[in-house]
Amino acid sequence: MNTEGFERAVRSYWDVRESQAAKQLASGRLDAGTRGAVTGGGHLDGLAQLLEDVFVAAGFQRSDVKRTAGIELPGYYRPTKKWDLVVVSNNRLVAAIELKSQVGPSFGNNFNNRTEEAIGNAVDVWRAYEEGTFGAVRPWLGYIFLLEEEPRSTTPVRVARSLFPAESIFEGTSYKDRYRILCRRLVRERLYDAACFVTSSREPDSRVDQPDEELSFTAFTAAIAGRAAFVQALNR
């Protein structure tokens, strides 16, 4: 996978945010906090387009890849949920991918929400699969998370007091560390088949960081290639 292409897709996230914030300012309608930068939607479209290209390069038709329409999947605990990218070939659910991001300043307030979303979405799909909703072939789930790299996300924070001791792995961790732990465990516990964790600063010339080889975009695309080979073998 072209590393430069991935980094351009990540940088486009900040370009879209700035463009949406500028439009809000010009219109005279300002949302609270940083919400004005994301209310227009599409801030992760660069990554979604890159993923679409990855699936096409792996042998799927571009029409198999859904990014705007046909992205609702049935669940078990709720009727449907929209995913960010869905791939369907020969009436089989090839893959479903969730794209999420978080910027400051409210890292603490949002970490638990993002964790609950990621776990809940996966559990819902797997329970629906067990009920036969998606047929005999197990779906493939992917999760990509982009975190803003800045002092409040990289500085260690205390673990909140609780009735029972928290796992020692969380001691002395930043939110960047905690998202890395989350993404690794989502994969190792088989809630997702692959995850990618990337951090980036809003500064134009800043580095795009992939702090864990297991969660790199290269590893993510390798998992897609494995899924593609499996599905194409079934189609023969």
Any idea what the CATH number is for the domain that residue 48 is in?
A: 3.40.1350
Q: Is residue 147 part of a domain?
A: yes
Q: Is residue 172 part of a domain?
A: yes
Q: Is residue 10 part of a domain?
A: no
Query: What pTM did the predictor assign?
Result: 0.90
If pLDDT is split at 50, 70 and 90, which confidence band does 180 have?
A: very high
Q: Is residue 26 part of a domain?
A: no
CA distances to 69, 80, 111, 226 from 90, rounded to whole Å, are: 17, 21, 38, 18
Q: Is residue 156 part of a domain?
A: yes
Q: Is residue 3 part of a domain?
A: no
pLDDT of residue 28 exceeding 80: no
Q: Is residue 176 part of a domain?
A: yes
pLDDT of residue 184 exceeding 80: yes
Containing domain of residue 60, as a range?
Answer: 44-235
pLDDT digits (tens, 9 = 90+) for 49-102: 999 999 999 999 999 999 999 999 999 999 999 999 999 999 999 999 999 999
Counted domains in the chain: 1
Q: Is residue 153 part of a domain?
A: yes
Closest Cα to residue 39, out of 25, 50, 58, 57?
A: 25
DSSP secondary structure string for all residues of 36-98: GGTTT--TTHHHHHHHHHHHHHTT--GGGEESSSS-EEE-SSSSEEE-SEEEEETTEEEEEEE
pLDDT digits (tens, 9 = 90+) for 186-211: 999 999 999 999 999 998 888 899 99
